[in-house]
């Protein structure tokens, strides 16, 4: 027997509204319309990856010991028996080999972090190439760029926590970059690490608090604000039948989009768990514990740090000295200046687009295809090409070594590519966009076929105009002919059948 009146079981919104006055807000959520396009799912993949990160990270935090106190290992991994290591590294081994489901949770957490940053990056590229950063969405765009920066910092903090050899070498590089800050580098790095590298025991605790509390809280807050602004301003959408600047054509929240989104969340979570269970990532027991006197060749960080490592490698031997004092050490240029320029360009993009590229100050709710603004697309592609070259310089050295290509030769190759690739990519991208816009054809959705008609003898004849582009699959004249572009027509029909 139900404890609620029948009217409340029939209308749950009325039940909630009588107590909380929330019916109007719930109705807004239920009726909210989401546009139908696959590229919008990139942001959802990032959101659901964040949920998996929080869940798996909470489990790992129950067993991890953020301490660099030295101890002798007597755990279940025989090759490291009797070795001196930090409590943080020993607890990581304990999670991997002694905690039920611990290794799965570690690998799911690591893979999810990689997917999370990749989804944010792809989502940001979609926004840049479709003009989704234009007024009034520039503020939300700034929030998205900030989330990318925080996600990279969060990933590096988590990557550094286990105190294995690989993460310790990464922290040594971070120490050198922090020390390279002009004038304030020494005091800043010493205060952050609690002393000279590798720092005091408190540094591990600070890294832990930043990774499990401060940065996730900031990301969660920014995600909430990001989603709220999207719903207040409405989703942007691509131009199409019935789509205008003042409406959204798509699927309502309930029931269609909510069920679809739940299915996507289940799929994302399932894929991440499968990756964690089937694909090994970051086997810290193979690297061993970190000690300042130990190093290794061929060390590769997680993918989202590849562009920073590449910038450090490509920077020539340049330092600024004044009166015998080094004011700007070499690591500053690749570790601080280059990423600062990249993010400065990202933050300045809405202003640069309004002032110099599109010269358009109007409000826009319809997105542009990349071909619709060839100049912006080409400039964005050229900047991306420059970053991609730097990323490759920090990522493919093992591949070059495998084929016997010398390290110095690889560095000079990527330095040349960094100078030449952006100009080449700009020219190719702009030409491609102009050609696509001129033909108004999608390279993957172009109709390829002929239109036939039954003749008086009962057979079929191909209409000559259909091959020349004058007739579409529905029998209508193509957009090119509607604009008056002349097309050659065959006067003699070819008999088919």
For residue 194, tell me if it sits in a domain: yes
Domain that holds residue 62: 27-294
Span 162-166, average pLDDT: 94
For residue 392, tell me if it sits in a domain: no
Does residue 290 or residue 489 have the better pLDDT?
290
361-382 pLDDT, tens digit each:
999 999 999 999 999 999 999 9
Residues 6+ apart with CB under 8 A from 465: 451, 471, 487, 489
CA-to-CA distance for 493 and 117, rounded, in angstroms? 56
Does residue 430 or residue 454 have the better pLDDT?
430
Q: Which of 242, 277, 294 is the last residue of a domain?
A: 294
Cross-strand bridge partners of residue 252: 33
454-482 pLDDT, tens digit each:
888 888 888 765 544 444 433 443 433 33
383-404 pLDDT, tens digit each:
999 999 999 999 887 788 888 8
Span 257-267, average pLDDT: 95
CA-to-CA distance for 89 and 13, rounded, in angstroms? 52
Does residue 391 or residue 13 have the better pLDDT?
391
Q: Would the pLDDT of 242 be above 90? A: no
pTM, entire model: 0.86
Span 421-425, average pLDDT: 98
Q: Would the pLDDT of 486 be above 60? A: no
CA-to-CA distance for 218 and 225, rounded, in angstroms? 11
Span 19-40, average pLDDT: 84
For residue 474, tell me if it sits in a domain: yes
Secondary structure percentages of the chain, helix, strand, coil, to 5: 60, 5, 30
For residue 433, tell me if it sits in a domain: no
For residue 334, tell me if it sits in a domain: no
Q: Which of 248, 276, 294 is the last residue of a domain?
A: 294
For residue 352, tell me if it sits in a domain: no
Span 60-69, average pLDDT: 96
Instruction: Say which CATH number the domain at 251 has.
Output: 1.20.810.10
Span 234-257, average pLDDT: 89
Q: Which of 272, 294, 316 is the last residue of a domain?
A: 294
CA-to-CA distance for 17 and 216, rounded, in angstroms? 33
Span 423-435, average pLDDT: 97
For residue 219, tell me if it sits in a domain: yes
Q: Would the pLDDT of 2 be above 60? A: no
User: How many domains does the chain divide into?
Assistant: 2
Mean pLDDT lowest among 14-23, 309-318, 366-375 = 14-23
For residue 254, tell me if it sits in a domain: yes
Mean pLDDT lowest among 111-120, 137-146, 284-293 = 284-293
Q: Would the pLDDT of 217 be above 90? A: yes
């Amino acid at each position: 027997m139900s404890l609620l009146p029948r009217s409340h079981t029939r209308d749950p919104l009325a039940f909630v509204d009588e107590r909380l006055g929330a019916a109007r807000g719930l109705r807004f959520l239920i009726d909210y319309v989401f546009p139908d396009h696959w590229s919008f799912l990139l942001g959802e993949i990032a959101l659901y990856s964040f949920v998996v990160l929080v869940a798996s990270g909470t489990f790992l935090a129950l067993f991890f010991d953020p301490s660099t106190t030295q101890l002798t290992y007597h755990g279940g991994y025989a090759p490291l028996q009797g070795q001196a290591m930090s409590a943080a590294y020993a607890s990581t081994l304990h999670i991997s080999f002694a905690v039920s489901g611990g290794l799965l949770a570690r690998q799911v957490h690591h893979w999810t972090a990689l997917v999370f940053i990749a989804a944010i990056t792809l989502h940001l590229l979609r926004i840049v190439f479709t003009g989704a950063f234009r007024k009034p969405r520039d503020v939300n765009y700034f929030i998205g760029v900030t989330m990318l920066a925080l996600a990279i910092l969060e990933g590096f903090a988590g990557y550094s926590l286990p105190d294995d050899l690989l993460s310790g070498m990464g922290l040594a590089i971070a120490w050198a970059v922090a020390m390279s800050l002009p004038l304030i580098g020494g005091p800043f790095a010493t205060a952050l690490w609690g002393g000279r590298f590798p720092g005091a025991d408190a540094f591990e605790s600070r890294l832990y608090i930043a990774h499990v509390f401060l940065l996730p809280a900031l990301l969660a807050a920014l995600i909430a604000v990001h989603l709220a602004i999207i719903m207040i301003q409405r989703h942007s959408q691509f131009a199409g039948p019935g789509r205008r600047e003042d409406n959204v054509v798509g699927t309502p929240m309930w029931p269609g989009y909510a069920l679809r989104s739940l299915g996507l969340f289940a799929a994302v979570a399932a894929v991440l768990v499968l990756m964690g269970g089937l694909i090994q990532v970051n086997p810290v027991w193979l690297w061993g514990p970190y000690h300042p006197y130990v190093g290794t060749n061929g060390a590769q960080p997680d993918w989202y740090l590849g562009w920073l490592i590449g910038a450090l490698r490509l920077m020539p031997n340049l330092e600024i000295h004044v009166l015998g004092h080094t004011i700007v050490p070499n690591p500053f240029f690749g570790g601080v200046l280059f990423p600062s320029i990249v993010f400065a360009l990202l933050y300045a993009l809405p202003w640069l687009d309004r002032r110099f590229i599109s010269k358009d100050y109007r409000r826009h709710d319809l997105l542009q295809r990349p071909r619709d603004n060839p100049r912006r697309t080409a400039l964005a592609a050229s900047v991306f090409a420059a970053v991609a070259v730097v990323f490759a310089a920090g990522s493919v050295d093992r591949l070059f070594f495998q084929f016997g290509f010398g390290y110095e030769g690889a560095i000079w190759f990527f330095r040349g590519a960094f100078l030449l690739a952006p100009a080449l990519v700009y020219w190719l991208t702009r030409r491609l966009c102009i050609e696509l816009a001129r033909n108004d054809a999608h390279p993957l959705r172009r109709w390829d076929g002929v239109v036939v008609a039954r003749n008086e003898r009962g057979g079929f004849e191909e209409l000559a105009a259909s091959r020349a582009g004058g007739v579409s699959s529905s029998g209508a004249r193509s957009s090119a002919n509607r604009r008056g572009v002349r097309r050659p027509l065959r006067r003699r029909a070819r008999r088919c059948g």
